[in-house]
Amino acid sequence: MENKKVIILGSSRSSGNTAKSIAAISEKYNIEVIDLNNYTFSYYDYESKNLDDDFLPLIISIIEKYDTLIFATPVYWYNMSGIMKVFFDRFSDLIRVEKETGRKLKGKNMSVISNSHSDSIDKTFYIPFQKSADYLGMNYIGGIHLNADKLKIEDKIILDFI
């Protein structure tokens, strides 16, 4: 069975450094990219007033089509981007409201591509991704950090974690 992969891009700029890095990886490894900026969804709401936004149709589509979810984010103030954080917060809908959909994440793979103007980042950056994967029953494969100023995709060991 083929392991279908998707890169989920969460950046404030659809044409920024992270997007450029992801475009090169997508082309080289033939991986589809979903840009979160192309969707309208809001923060997690305990009253579930936002269930008619784009989050549920998007995550359902992702779960149905892909086995490996690769989250790509620039590093903003030592964390994932705001749009990526909101997307992750909405996983709560899959635990409280759409439980059957949430259960379908179990056994899927998760990895992370981070991007900044540094050669490396503190490994604690990846903890929210690791803990989320663990909680959802996903296999956390790992993360890789790219320096936007020195990006050479062929020099990175991408396939080890995607």
| Residue-wise pLDDT tens digits, 18-45 | 999 899 889 888 999 999 999 999 999 9
pLDDT cut 90: percent of the chain above it: 81
Radius of gyration of the chain measured on its C-alpha atoms:
15
Domains and CATH numbers, the chain: 5-155 (3.40.50.360)
Determine the Cα–Cα distance for residues 108 and 138; give it in Å rounded to an integer: 5
CA distances from 42 to 11, 33, 79, 125 (A): 15, 21, 19, 23
pLDDT in tens, 74-103: 999 999 999 999 999 999 999 999 999 999
